Amino acid sequence: MPGTRAGFDLDLPWQLHPQVSVRPERFGALLYHFGTRRLSFLKSPALLTVVSSLGDSPSARAACRDAGVTEAELPTYATALGALAASQMIRAREAL
């Protein structure tokens, strides 16, 4: 599967899974997937900005850059996005 924790492909176009509902919170956001009935969270408002813009960005890397994520921070974001992909909260747009 694309985007397991080990290797999240930042250069692919991604999107929020259509069955996922996002609720902004002080610490970032809560995510609930109606298909898997799983809850997850985004631990920072910046990550929320990235996730919300995935669907309109040519790649995850672009979404991160537009949200002001620095080169040094990128691996952390890739890990976080990888975890979200592994739990089907986000998915590669080709998978449509």
Partner 1 sequence: MTVPALVEQFQYGLDAPICLTWELTYACNLSCVHCLSSSGRRDPRELSTAECKAVIDELERMQVFYVNIGGGEPTVRPDFWELVDYATAHHVGVKFSTNGIKIIPDRARQLAGSDYVDVQISLDGATAEVNDAVRGPGSYATALRAMENLAAAGFRGFKISVVITRQNMGQLDEFKAIADRFGAQLRLTRLRPSGRGADVWDELHPTAAQQRQLYDWLAARGEQVLTGDSFFHLAAYGDPLPGLNLCGAGRVVCLIDPVGDVYACPFAIHDSFLAGNVRGPGGFATVWRESELFTDLRRPQTGGACQSCSAYDSCRGGCMAAKFFTGLPLDGPDPECVKGHGEHALAAMGSTAAPRPSGDHSHRTQPVPVTISRRPPESACNESPLAGFRPGG
Residue numbers at the binding site for partner 1 (CB under 8 A): 5, 19, 21, 23, 25-27, 30, 32, 34-35, 37-43, 47, 80, 83-84, 86-87
In the complex, least distance from residue 17 CB atom to partner 1, rounded to whole angstroms? 12
Question: Hey, is 25 helix, strand or coil?
Answer: strand
Q: Is 15 buried (19+), middle (13-18) or exposed (0-12) by CB count in 10 A? A: middle
Write down the least CB distance from residue 21 to partner 1, Å.
6
DSSP assignment of 50-93 equals: HHHHGGGSSSHHHHHHHTT--TTTHHHHHHHHHHHHHTTSEEEG
Min CB(19)–partner 1 separation in Å: 7
Of 12 and 50, which has the nearer Cβ to partner 1? 50
Q: How far is the CB of 47 from partner 1 (least distance, A)?
A: 8
Residue 66 in tokens: 């537009």
Q: Which is nearer to partner 1, 47 or 69 (CB)?
A: 47
Q: Parallel, antiparallel, or unpaired: how do β-strands 38-42 and 28-33 relate?
A: antiparallel
Q: Closer to partner 1 at the Cβ: 13 or 77?
A: 77
